[in-house]
Amino acid sequence: STSTRTAAPLPHLSQRSGIIRTRDAMSGGVIDKRLAEIGIAIPPSAAPAANYVPFRRLGSTVYISGQIAKCGDGSLLTGKLGANCDLDAGRAAARQCALNLIGQMREACGGDLDRVKAIVEVKAFVNATEDFTQHPQVVNGCSDLLVEVFGAEVGAHSRFAVGCSSLPLGVAVEVGAVIEIHGEP
């Protein structure tokens, strides 16, 4: 069962229960070593909750479905920016979405995150009140982590950050992405 909680800044992620280090992260390439150095463990990729696929590959381009702010222990970072969720909590939710995106990237790359050639675009939705205007600052939680993990050359991306009146399961943020990868599936 999935529990919910209001989004709050995340504790040191490598110490969170429910987040596992995969065999690839223990032995791996440059990106896995960087993740280990900065103390970040990537949660297992989530299965789709409805009639869609978590990602679709067309040639070297991978389209990743929206990832919600779901933690490795199954809890959700919920809330509405401008009402019961502050900017720091929104950034933490966007960061969690980025971790989930990286989990899907790992799946799309057959376990090897070094195959990510470019994060092309990030598409972000922020659950917010009508008068909330700091959507870009919230989504920086996602963008900053992607650049920290992959470096500016691969991790810098185009993006949009928009507000909406609600998101699935009441989560604070949902983020999808388009990436380019090296090699065959």
Give the contacts of 36 (CB within 8 A, at least 6 positions apart).
21, 25
Query: Which pLDDT score is estimated for 180?
Result: 98
If residue 2 lies in a helix (H) or strand (E), which one and from where to where? Answer: none
For 87-133, how does the pLDDT look when each residue is reduced to its tens digit (9 = 90+)?
A: 999 999 999 999 999 999 999 999 999 999 999 999 999 999 999 99
Task: Give the HSE-up count for residue 125: Cα atoms under 13 Å, Cβ half-sphere.
Answer: 15
DSSP string across 81-138: BTTTB-HHHHHHHHHHHHHHHHHHHHHHTTT-GGGEEEEEEEEEEEEB-TT---HHHH
For 132-164, how does the pLDDT look when each residue is reduced to its tens digit (9 = 90+)?
A: 999 999 999 999 999 999 999 999 999 999 999
Question: The pTM is what?
Answer: 0.85
**Is the pLDDT reported for residue 65 higher than 90?**
yes
Average pLDDT, the chain: 87
Give SS3 for 177: strand
- 181: amino acid identity, one letter: I
How many Å apart are CA 74 and CA 157, to the nearest integer? 28
How many Å apart are CA 43 and CA 37, to the nearest integer? 17
**Is the pLDDT reported for residue 16 higher than 90?**
no
Strand-pair partners of 63: 56, 178
Mean pLDDT (whole number) for 12-30 = 43
**Is the pLDDT reported for residue 14 higher than 70?**
no
Task: Please give the residue that has the higher pLDDT: either 14 or 74.
Answer: 74
Neighbours of 77 (CB within 10 A): 28
Q: Are 34 and 149 in contact (CB under 8 A)?
A: yes
Number of helices (H), then strands (E), belonging to the chain: the values are: 4, 7
Length of the chain: 185
Phi/psi for 105 (5° steps) reads -60, -45
